[in-house]
A and B are shown apart, each in its own frame.
Chain A
């Protein structure tokens, strides 16, 4: 009887689990907004429960996550899929053919499906003040040639130097601007506003274009690759819920560049929440019914700003679990290395290599195995913590005075007794120093856990980075630094207590 009940409960939980879809996004404003668009459309037009996992780091993390089914949907750009994921090197001449090509390769190679484009094309562009453009009669990049001698350009450093930036553009359009300099991109808007420069590079959907009244010049020779945004869906999810295709199909070409710019500006500059901005947009366009979205908004605003204290606890828990597990694995491994030179070479080599893998790459690598969650973050931290502990265990034991070990052997102690009674106690301080190093490193690296939605003090940092809000960044960074310093000091005390009493003669 009980067994049947349990079985039923299991089924029920399976059903509810399947009825949920996870919508992810990368770690910048537009990606989060488009995820919110997708989420609200699904809430409005399907029975699915939607979980939002925004700010998931970059392309590689989102790609790994959607392939593994850790997230079901996120919005990607054709140019990114073409170049960064599929590593196609050819130039895209026809955006539609490129889209179809990318769509087919994703379907065949990853079982990930591109739905219809949303309309916006977040590509590179050349921008000019509306007033100046009007005065000179410039609408396209080609039009610049007529005035090129008198035009002054200020490009971001990257754009000014890359072949797919200004040098390539100048070649494609046979363009020779009067003055070209490079400057920090944040300053370019200011400079163009002050009349110091006439032209700058921009992303076509950047909200600042609207804010500073800039005109985007049409890329009439199609020099810039297309970056059309479209939702990507995990294959199994789409087969289980074909209604997703129907719901999101309604969005096809409904979000033009100007609309994207307006929403980006509203979130970035006006500090409105993505949920609110998106709801207003969908309502205005008649794409959704009001009741569902507002209900969702209420739910979201109630628990939206978690306290730093909770995040710090989360952060500490992540770190401690990882370091504890790492110690459990690394200390025996370090001990084993002292008697087996071959093992030592392999272990220290592998752990060293692990240390050089960029943290984000390591996180991305974990996703297919462990999913998009706390375990993936802990696994990554665990791998980082291994090396200092293994190395210090090994060093600590090999540094024990050989005469003492000789005396212990001569007394008739077994290798195990020597390890337990002599080598480990004398190496304890060095081992503890390794644990301490591992802990401090892990507290730092754990801020990256937020990239895969595992929480911790990285959350406000990440949010601050993409809202360009220094206060928010510091509200995560300072507690993380304090945590590191406190942990370091506490473990230093433990380390000191482990030291054997030294000669006082």
Chain B
């Protein structure tokens, strides 16, 4: 469903020097899999995620979604087929919950009753009573509620793939653990392919079918949690899984 083939991403920094963010990435995420990109900050995991919906363009290699090279697709059409969730949901503070969730439906020209029905359906799906929440503003929600609205919004156009970038990064540890349980059940019911970026080992273990560990722009090892624990590919993975890597938290 999502496939990276020999992908490099090279940035040019302010002084004109080239910085390699991702190098020679080969990765396949089959349809329906919940896949976590795990690593310390600056390891290239967010850049990898952003190449899927072309918020970043790859420098070399191919990124495919559903068998199509993303570079060949209209960028707006591509993004509308891919849900995108960021930290705290990235909700628009001047719009109500209903307006946030229904925004893309409205922009692609769906009529009002259809949008309303879809918003209700989505809010129910993420466990927020429509009657209570549609007219609220993001400022009036808890962190966990905002995150659920963020997911509802990402699902609005029934995408093939959901991208999540540190979705629970702003939550306190207790809420975050509760959200992990909730989202595991949610993912199971959704049946979507999910690519989730996190630096939190516990989160990856709680949610992912498979985990890819990245370091310095390169993919170090992919596998299920059990596989990684049983046979870490190198010392970095071993250290990481022990939760004692500098800068890492677990």
- Please report the C-alpha to C-alpha distance between residue A403 and residue B103 in the assembled complex, in whole angstroms: 17
Q: Is A505 an interface residue (CB 8 A)?
A: yes
- Please report the C-alpha to C-alpha distance between residue A501 and residue B82 in the assembled complex, in whole angstroms: 29
Q: Are B79 and A502 in contact (CB under 8 A)?
A: no
Q: Are B137 and A407 in contact (CB under 8 A)?
A: no
Binds B, one of A89-97, A318-326, A421-429, A463-471: A421-429
Q: Is A404 an interface residue (CB 8 A)?
A: yes
Binds A, one of B63-71, B88-96, B115-123, B232-240: B88-96
CB contact between B94 and one of A403, A501, A505 (< 8 Å): that residue: A501
Q: Is B221 an interface residue (CB 8 A)?
A: no
Q: Is A500 an interface residue (CB 8 A)?
A: yes
Q: Are B94 and A410 in contact (CB under 8 A)?
A: no
Q: Is A504 an interface residue (CB 8 A)?
A: yes
Which residues from chain B contact A408 at a C-beta distance below 8 Å?
92
Q: Is A503 an interface residue (CB 8 A)?
A: yes
Known: A410-B55, A410-B86, A412-B104. Contact between A505 and B142, CB under 8 A?
Answer: yes
Q: Number of residues in B with C-beta < 8 Å to the partner?
A: 28
**A405 and chain B: residue at smallest CB distance:** B90
Q: Are A413 and B107 in contact (CB under 8 A)?
A: yes
Q: Are A411 and B139 in contact (CB under 8 A)?
A: no
The 8 A CB mask of B69-105 against A (1 = contact, 0 = none) is 0000000111110101011001111100000000110
Q: Are B79 and A412 in contact (CB under 8 A)?
A: yes
The 8 A CB mask of A464-505 against B (1 = contact, 0 = none) is 000000000000000000000000000000000000111111
Q: Is A414 an interface residue (CB 8 A)?
A: yes
Q: Are A412 and B86 in contact (CB under 8 A)?
A: no
- Please report the C-alpha to C-alpha distance between residue A404 and residue B107 in the assembled complex, in whole angstroms: 17
Q: Is A20 an interface residue (CB 8 A)?
A: no
Q: Are B90 and A406 in contact (CB under 8 A)?
A: yes
Q: Are B90 and A407 in contact (CB under 8 A)?
A: yes
Q: Are B92 and A412 in contact (CB under 8 A)?
A: no
Q: Is A239 an interface residue (CB 8 A)?
A: no
Within 8 A of B (CB), among A439-470: none
Within 8 A of A (CB), among B19-56: 53, 55
B202 to chain A, nearest CB (A): 24
Which residues from chain B contact A505 at a C-beta distance below 8 Å?
139-142
Known: A411-B153, A421-B103. Contact between A501 and B79, CB under 8 A?
Answer: no
CB contact between A501 and one of B84, B93, B154, B163 (< 8 Å): that residue: B93
Q: Is A409 an interface residue (CB 8 A)?
A: yes
Known: A501-B139, A504-B140, A505-B139. Contact between A412 and B94, CB under 8 A?
Answer: no
6 more CB-based (< 8 A) A-B contacts, given A413-B104, A501-B137, A502-B93: A406-B86, A412-B78, A414-B76, A425-B94, A501-B140, A505-B141
* Residues of B participating in the A interface, judged by any CB pair closer than 8 Å: 53, 55, 76-80, 82, 84, 86-87, 90-94, 103-104, 107, 137-142, 153-154, 163
Q: List 18 A-B contacts (CB under 8 A).
A: A403-B90, A406-B55, A406-B86, A407-B86, A407-B92, A410-B53, A410-B55, A410-B86, A411-B103, A411-B154, A412-B77, A412-B79, A412-B82, A412-B104, A414-B76, A500-B94, A503-B138, A504-B140
